[in-house]
Amino acid sequence: MEKWRAADRLLKFSSSCKSKQGKYFYSVATTVHRNPLFSSISPDDISYFKTILGERGVVQDALALDAANTDWMGKYRGSSKLLLQPKNTEEVSQILKYCNSRCLAVVPQGGNTGLVGGSVPVFDEVIINVGLMRNILSFDKVIVSGVLVCEAGCILENLISFLDDEGFIMPLDLGAKGSCQIGGNVSTNAGGLRLLRYGSLHGSVLGLEAVLANGTVLDMLGTLRKDNTGYDLKHLFIGSEGSLGIVTKVSILTPPKLSSVNIAFLACEDYTSCQKLLLEAKKKLGGILSAFEFLDSDAMSLVLKHLDGVRNPLPPSIHNFYILIETTGSNETFDKENLEAFLLHSVESGLVANGVLAQDINQASSFWHIREGLPEALMKAGAVYKYDLSLPLEKMYDLVEEMRVQIGPAAKVVAYGHLGDGNLHLNISAPAYDDNILAKIEPFVYEWTSKNRGSISAEHGLGLMKAAKIHYSKSPETVRLMIDFDYCVFELLPDTSCLDDNHSIICLCLSA
């Protein structure tokens, strides 16, 4: 399955962003060659897949294939001739078993909203899209456990609405919620806007079901909070980007919905104030703090320019930094007073230059729209080089400033992210993709991150973009263990003849 492609993905790297096949990956050092050990689709394969999935589950239509071959940013493009749409776990298992026996490379796909080239084929892999597997299987609210069990293809926003009606919330929220799917979210360990409050998916996913490359179904779909019977293998699938198997079902712990939500949009004049404000927010708002997001002045200008209907919440000027704070609690009066007092104190102490508290739900969504609309605004602005980094908070904005010096006037450096989680989204926005700009960004950005003991992927995964860069964040021994582990899973398979010595755990992801 996925790892077959990974095997050849790591074969050769060069310092050019154009591969010999003429593929342009907008990231330095990613030249990949198709592994000749992989088979190509034959008419017999198509007939076989039709016996499993019926005519409708076997898609060869050019338009549909074009969409499935291309990622959301239009940066990564495969040339798959076949898209399979299984309706249940058994069908996924049959597909993988067959592909394994035929040495057909596959790529799992969800909502195809990933940002690192992990959700689309590199060459002609069979695309297995789990989007038809979208049933909610159970929701246990009777004993107030709040455990939701659903299939991998459920769209995140649909789960959010379902839970809202039941009086619960998803512990995960992303700008891409309208398209991304829970299986992809789990496979990429998506972080999002409320990780600060509800933690990562390693905490809220209680269990999952996954299908291995040989078709074996692993039932780890527990719903228990505690289970210490041996290795907790589900964690290996959370964030493994499809390298170990396709996640088909998920059980997830969801918190009860709280009635009082307040949002403030604030301006700070320097980055030190943003950091101090975060510390203060943690101290003063404590348990009710549910989001602490930031954007800089270039990010704000970009949104105002490219997103329809967005207005500057703190006119007339543009400030250096903006912070969006959300609180979620159960006491309307107390929570609001608490946030107001915090804001007043922050203004008086000089940390905040200006600020506004959302007066109604429309104003609250307009604040969120500014932050969530940034990826779209960047796409509208032209070419964008995206870096999703975890960094020590105090160093985070130094990188942005150094990058501005490094790049010069050729491109805009736009910064935003999940400040509360130490997660910077560093974006370099240019009129068009340009090798000279790229040469100024990479490897500088990775070296800087590594030197400061950060991570080159905070929440987006490695994908094709960063598979070969893992060494910037993981020691050789750690990478070796990952590779050994990956082999270990694979050696359970009846036929590993498709693999070669470059076989590696590092591969593309099942997109959110």
The residues, any chain, with a CB within 8 Å of residue 12's CB and separated by 6 or more, are 31, 32, 33
Q: Which of residues 255-284 bind ligand MLT (CB under 6 A)?
A: none
Q: How far is the CB of 375 from ligand MLT (least distance, A)?
A: 4
Q: How far is the CB of 200 from ligand MLT (least distance, A)?
A: 14
| Residue 413 half-sphere exposure toward CB, CA atoms < 13 A | 21
Reduce the DSSP state of residue 366 to 3 states and report it. helix
Q: How far is the CB of 306 from ligand MLT (least distance, A)?
A: 14
Question: Which helix (H) or strand (E) segment is 261 a member of?
Answer: strand 260-268
**Which of these, 248, 423, 262, lies nearest to 330 by C-alpha position?**
262
* Bridge partner residues of 150 (DSSP): 136, 250
Tokens of 366: 């307009």
Q: Are 346 and 280 in contact (CB under 8 A)?
A: yes
Q: How far is the CB of 403 from ligand MLT (least distance, A)?
A: 16
**DSSP of 308-341, one letter per residue?**
TT---SS-SSPPSEEEEEEEEES-HHHHHHHHHH
Cis link prior to 316 (omega < 30° from 0)? Answer: yes
Nearer of residues 27 and 85 to ligand MLT, judged by Cβ: 27
Nearer of residues 207 and 375 to ligand MLT, judged by Cβ: 375
Number of residues forming the site for ligand MLT (CB under 6 A): 5
Q: How far is the CB of 188 from ligand MLT (least distance, A)?
A: 11
Q: Are 245 and 212 in contact (CB under 8 A)?
A: yes
Nearer of residues 115 and 351 to ligand MLT, judged by Cβ: 115
Q: How far is the CB of 339 from ligand MLT (least distance, A)?
A: 23
Nearer of residues 2 and 173 to ligand MLT, judged by Cβ: 173
Q: Which of residues 286-315 bind ligand MLT (CB under 6 A)?
A: none
Q: Are 100 and 1 in contact (CB under 8 A)?
A: yes
Q: How far is the CB of 259 from ligand MLT (least distance, A)?
A: 26
How many residues are present in the chain? 512
Nearer of residues 106 and 186 to ligand MLT, judged by Cβ: 186
**For residue 450, how many other CB atoms are within 10 A of its CB?**
16
> C-alpha distances in angstroms, 347 versus 273, 301, 340, 358?
11, 23, 11, 17
Nearer of residues 38 and 385 to ligand MLT, judged by Cβ: 385
Q: Which of residues 365-424 bind ligand MLT (CB under 6 A)?
A: 374-375, 388
Q: Which of residues 119-178 bind ligand MLT (CB under 6 A)?
A: 175
How far apart (Å, rounded) are the C-alpha atoms in residues 143 and 428?
49
Reduce the DSSP state of residue 323 to 3 states and report it. strand
β-pairing, 246-253 vs 147-151, is antiparallel
Nearer of residues 153 and 420 to ligand MLT, judged by Cβ: 420
Q: How far is the CB of 433 from ligand MLT (least distance, A)?
A: 17
Name the one residue in this structure whose structure tokens are 């755990």.
505
Q: How far is the CB of 199 from ligand MLT (least distance, A)?
A: 17
Q: Are 102 and 46 in contact (CB under 8 A)?
A: no
Nearer of residues 220 and 384 to ligand MLT, judged by Cβ: 384
Nearer of residues 339 and 419 to ligand MLT, judged by Cβ: 419
Write the binding mask 172 to 191 for ligand MLT: x where contact by CB under 6 A, - elsewhere.
---x----------------
Tokens of 128: 């297995």
Write the binding mask 421 to 440 for ligand MLT: x where contact by CB under 6 A, - elsewhere.
----x---------------
Residues in contact with ligand MLT by CB under 6 A are 175, 374-375, 388, 425
